[in-house]
Structure 1
Amino acid sequence: MKDQKRVNFKRNEGFRLIFNQPIPATFIILKISGKDVKSKKGEIQILDMSLKGAKIQTKFKLPIPNTRIEMEFVICDKPMHLVGELVWEKQSNQEFVYGMIFDSAMLLQQQLLQELKKYAIKNKPEKK
């Protein structure tokens, strides 16, 4: 398979799944500096993900820090909704890359773990 996925292991995080083909997602801003916000949906791409957070990319310049977003995406045919806070930003060409830390909910982490495992197995590199 040409588009292989890599799984990098970090001692303090468990694992981080790096997607060679970003996962399309949508997001809405929930809060900025503690104030509730009602934003329109925006498009983002998920570049990598762990149980604790994700690296996302978008054309939108978002306020950092103290911005909470909700992200919706599908992985292995399972719709997922995750809420978290943007903690860092880097500009990359015409787009912005953000680090997002998820709210910790054990049930969601278990669901996410199952879907990431399925994704990693489904996209495992073939042995030669």
Structure 2
Amino acid sequence: MYYKRNESFRFTFNEPVAGKLTKHEGNDMTTIDVDLLDVSTQGAKLKCVNTIELNKNTPIFLVFQLNTVSFQAAGNVVWIKKYPQSFEFGVHLDTDEMFQQSITQQLKQIARQRNK
């Protein structure tokens, strides 16, 4: 089950960022609240306390906001780690260059605010 995102950076938040995840399986769509623990230009580590059935390669749609900018991306589940009260999972996001530039810009602003 080894999976490591090979990207130039991964930004870990001091406080998790709230988001919504929609699971797509056949005609079944389920939306849950998630917390983003870290994010990069093509992936994220999420935490969820809801009891939803997720499997590796499950198609998802993720929506979250950084500063005042809303981000939306489709993707799929790459790994899952279950705990007694919650679970964490990694997702690979299908992003375009515009998404990647925008999220990089917002993460730079957050980092600058953090360092003040």
Q: 2: CA distance between counterparts of 1:117 and 1:89? A: 28
Matches within 5 A, 1:51-62: 51-59=41-49, 60-62=51-53
Aligned to 2:22: 28
Report whether the alignment pairs 1:120 with 2:114.
no
Q: Write out per-residue CA displacement over residues 89-121 of structure 1, whole angstroms, 9 at most, x where no aligned residue.
A: 001330010001110311111111111111111
Matches within 5 A, 1:88-99: 88-99=79-90
The code of the aligned residue for 2:28 comes to V
TM-score (normalised: structure 1): 0.78
Once the two structures are overlaid, the 10-residue window that deviates more, 57-66 or 73-82, is: 57-66
Contact 2:36–2:44 (Cα < 8 Å) also in 1: yes
Unaligned runs of 5+ in 2: none
Aligned to 1:84: 75
Distance 1:63 1:14, change over 3 A: same
After TM superposition, what 4+ stretches of structure 1 lie above 3 angstroms from structure 2? none
Q: 2: CA distance between counterparts of 1:62 and 1:75? A: 27
Q: Write out per-residue CA displacement over residues 72-97 of structure 1, whole angstroms, 9 at most, x where no aligned residue.
A: 11111111112211110001330010
Query: Shift of the alpha carbon at 1:36?
Result: 4.7
TM-score (normalised: structure 2): 0.85
Unaligned runs of 5+ in 1: 1-9
Q: Which has the larger radius of gyration?
A: 1
Q: 1: CA distance between counterparts of 2:59 and 2:97? A: 19
Q: Percent of aligned positions with the same letter in both sequences?
A: 29
Contact 1:61–1:96 (Cα < 8 Å) also in 2: no
Aligned to 2:92: 101
The code of the aligned residue for 2:78 comes to V
